[in-house]
Structure 1
Amino acid sequence: MTTSMSAATFKLAADAALSPAQQALEQQLLTFITEHRHAEQAGLFVIRGDAGTGKSAVLAAAFAKLQALSRQHDANPLQGTNNYLTVNHNEMLKIYKQLAADDPHLLKKDFQKPTPLINRLTKTNHRADVVFVDEAHLLLTQPDRYNRYTGQNQLADLLNLSHVVVVVFDTRQVLKLKSYWHANDLDPLLNRYSHQIFDLDQQFRVSADADVVNWINAFTRGHLQPLPSSPNFDLRVFQDGQPLYDLIRQRDQQGGLARMIATADFPYVVNHGTWYVTAGSLKLPWDKVNLTAEPWALRPETINEVGSIYTIQGFDLNYAGVILGPSVGYDPVSDRVIVKPAAYQDQEAFKRRNDLGNLDPLKVQLIFNSINVLMKRGRHGLYLYAVDPALRQRLLAL
């Protein structure tokens, strides 16, 4: 689905085509937009799918086609429409802006983060024709002063400010309480607005047999199964982090885009020195604050760092070396993977909310979600090291 040069992105290669399901989705989406762009009440189009099912690829392709029609000189039903694609993720926004440089019908201003877009449309009393929202599960569901968002729900705001909203949604990729979405949280909006839902279920990123994807899915729900073998996918468990890193470096030299990534289990304070991730005898720095226009995964020097869920979510790697930190453990009585929120270092993810009831099970789910994001980054291989000795030995026994 991607070029070898930019395999960390969701951009289709020049000679690649959307799958039949993706083609059907693109056509259905453009038809929906055409039918609803003049409606008084917004239309909502929801694309659902697990990590790696090509949601961003088809979204990028459909948006490029929409903008080409909008800016076409020949008359067509979508000519002159005012459209945006928004994503609440700095690294993915960089990729979208790079796409704009390669496509004559796209402009960098077409791509924005949701808060500035919402604030500007509100201030100018302007209504967009179409707003695409990638990673809509990252939209805020409460006010956030740090991000200068004063509303209650960014998706509800975008629906009020647009004729059509297209969202990519996966509740298993929610990573923070301030953007927490229950599985049924979309229902009130679906009941209120004219809508369509499209499910993508074909795995494009993980080029493995179903056994490997099923193993990852089981793990991220706490279940342990025998380690599957696949001729198309290299799945290994390591006794120590150093040989894992050595193999990642080797893979990176061979084909590029092999990186170390880890659960948010190691201390890190922005702009306060260098903070390290440890995995047995391995010690590497966390990813640095990236002020460049180049996404973390595409910068060669980041082979010497460990990426987080916030730098890698939404991206493809060729090989992913995943460090499962101290919050990920093992219960020998139930033979299950367990998580320990008290050991999770990303306490910003657990910033207190009073409207979600008991937060303990939600914190557990957020950690499992982060594991799901990390373990589905590698297209050709996944290498695992568990800091917890009991979990590490159980994984090696599998």
Structure 2
Amino acid sequence: MQNQATEILSPEKSLSSQQQQLVDEAIHFIKLHLHDTQPAVLVISGDAGTGKSVVLSQLFRIIQHERTQSDSKLFNTTNYFLVNHPELLKVYREIAGQNTELRKKDFQRPTTLINQLSKAQAKFDVGVIDEAHLLLSQPDHYNNFYGHNQLLSLLKVAHVLIIVFDEHQVLRFKTYWSKAQLQQLLRPFTQKWLSLDEQFRMQASSSVLNWINDFTQKRILSPIKPNFFDHNYDFQIFDDAEQMRQAIVSRNNQAGLSRVVATTGYPSVLDGGQHYVREGQFKLPWDQYNYTTTPWAEKPETINEVGSIYTCQGFDLNYVGLIIGPPVKLAGDHIHLEVDASLITDPEAFKRRHDMTDPRLIEQATTDLVMNAINVLMKRGVKGLYIFAHDQNLRDQLYRAYLNAKTQS
């Protein structure tokens, strides 16, 4: 029996015409450049929820099927599916176990494959990289990566790479990327850029999606409009975190896969103990390390934990209750949002880099990472988004605007 994550990412899932066209173009690109003297890269961009991972899943199944066909240009090729996200890797390996054309050993974390090929002095033909914005862009001894950039390391050992990239899902300094940085790195190589723009995850209207993008990308508090409230998507603002938790529990009882999540700003130390997110009467521990093969959100007991970007990125929830933590504040003009870096409590994600010394760049990158995390978490919910903000001014402004729009709807 498949869980929801494997169903969503199944290589057997039907595609939209745009997604199918992208798969076809990717196959053509691979075959065209498979024997070039230098690596070739196809970049697939698109917002969260546009089906990038589904496209990669189907693409890789086709590649692995054709490697067994003697009349295909991909016959006997060596190919890998890479993702630098342990929870997502569990899902892909489960999918591989259910499909005779896929092998679990072909699904790897980048560091594992880079170190393995480096030791063997070997290369491979095609690499498909999901969530390429999670690739390390600096050495990381904790993850046993001693190169300078994982994408560059992979380009040295691959003939063709197909990568998914979304600069609005970059979440840590050690994986800090911008579109400009990626373009600069890829400049010496043959490349092609394609994009997806249809929203498949969220049932929200374009008005709600535009509001989220204004909030997370422009850092502007746009008006909440009466047309936010329809039968397809449940958008709510709360002025009490415990009431929001109770609403999420109710939704979880009705529809399943409903969880409370939060941004940085609450005690969070990797010491094996429990650390709590507290807001008034609300008190729940952060998500615990998941040693099982079941994705975090699909474990029933995690209704009593607070999810984070580390457990939720790349996954669908039905309803998400988001706590926006202390670092995010409403500016004095009551329109713009600010980030107070002194209130960030995720030292690993925001550990400074030796190659980033410009204070303005560091400040901009820090703000981007915090707002990107909110972008990722706001776009987890298929059927609804509930929001509570720690900052009193932001909470009051959101709640007043919500009540006013709700009255007019």
Q: How high is the TM-score relative to the length of structure 1?
A: 0.95
Confirm whether residue 372 of structure 1 aligns to residue 370 of structure 2: no
Shift of residue 335, structure 1, vs aligned partner: 2.2
Aligned to 1:252: 252
Structure-1 separation of matches of 2:186 and 2:271: 42
Shift of residue 301, structure 1, vs aligned partner: 1.1
Aligned to 1:120: 116
Q: Which runs of structure 2 are paired with 1:350-365 in the superposition (5 Å)?
A: 350-356=350-356, 357-358=358-359, 359-365=362-368
Aligned to 1:135: 131
Confirm whether residue 76 of structure 1 aligns to residue 76 of structure 2: no
Residues 8 and 297 in structure 1, CA contact (< 8 A), matched pair in contact too: no
SS at match of 2:181: coil
Deviation by residue 1:141-196 (Cα, 9 ceiling, x = unmatched): 11111111111111011111001011100111111111111220122333211111
Shift of residue 278, structure 1, vs aligned partner: 1.5
Aligned to 1:32: 29
Shift of residue 13, structure 1, vs aligned partner: 8.7
Aligned to 1:394: 397
- Between Structure 1 and Structure 2, how many residues are aligned? 394
Structure-2 separation of matches of 1:192 and 1:275: 46
Shift of residue 298, structure 1, vs aligned partner: 1.4
Deviation by residue 1:77-96 (Cα, 9 ceiling, x = unmatched): 21211100111111111111
Deviation by residue 1:84-124 (Cα, 9 ceiling, x = unmatched): 01111111111111111111111111111001101111111
SS at match of 1:116: helix
Residues 11 and 58 in structure 2, CA contact (< 8 A), matched pair in contact too: no
Confirm whether residue 162 of structure 1 aligns to residue 158 of structure 2: yes
Aligned to 2:295: 295
SS at match of 1:186: helix
SS at match of 1:224: coil
Confirm whether residue 52 of structure 1 aligns to residue 49 of structure 2: yes
Confirm whether residue 381 of structure 1 aligns to residue 384 of structure 2: yes
Match of 2:90 among 75, 88, 94: 94
Structure-2 separation of matches of 1:110 and 1:331: 48
Shift of residue 332, structure 1, vs aligned partner: 3.2
Q: Which runs of structure 2 are paired with 1:165-204 in the superposition (5 Å)?
A: 165-204=161-200
> Amino acid of the residue matched to residue 347 of structure 1?
P
- Shift in CA distance, 298/71, structure 1 to aligned 2, threshold 3 Å: farther
Residues 260 and 321 in structure 1, CA contact (< 8 A), matched pair in contact too: yes
SS at match of 1:372: helix
> Amino acid of the residue matched to residue 220 of structure 2?
H
350-359 vs 250-259, which moves further: 350-359
> Amino acid of the residue matched to residue 71 of structure 2?
A
Structure-2 separation of matches of 1:396 and 1:152: 46
Shift of residue 7, structure 1, vs aligned partner: 5.0
Residues 33 and 130 in structure 1, CA contact (< 8 A), matched pair in contact too: yes
Shift of residue 334, structure 1, vs aligned partner: 4.7
Aligned to 1:233: 233
Residues 279 and 385 in structure 1, CA contact (< 8 A), matched pair in contact too: no
Match of 1:66 among 60, 63, 66: 63
Deviation by residue 1:249-298 (Cα, 9 ceiling, x = unmatched): 11111121111110022112224321111133110111111111111111
Residues 224 and 335 in structure 1, CA contact (< 8 A), matched pair in contact too: yes
Structure-1 separation of matches of 2:219 and 2:370: 11
Match of 1:148 among 144, 147, 150: 144
**Misfit runs of 4+, over 3 Å:** 7-10
SS at match of 1:130: strand
> Amino acid of the residue matched to residue 278 of structure 1?
R
Aligned to 2:407: none
Structure-2 separation of matches of 1:10 and 1:188: 33
Structure-1 separation of matches of 2:334 and 2:381: 29
Shift of residue 333, structure 1, vs aligned partner: 2.3
SS at match of 2:20: helix
Q: How high is the TM-score relative to the length of structure 2?
A: 0.93
Deviation by residue 1:365-390 (Cα, 9 ceiling, x = unmatched): 11011111110100110000111111
Residues 10 and 95 in structure 2, CA contact (< 8 A), matched pair in contact too: no
Shift of residue 5, structure 1, vs aligned partner: 4.8
Structure-2 separation of matches of 1:273 and 1:44: 42
Residues 265 and 325 in structure 1, CA contact (< 8 A), matched pair in contact too: yes
Aligned to 2:202: 206
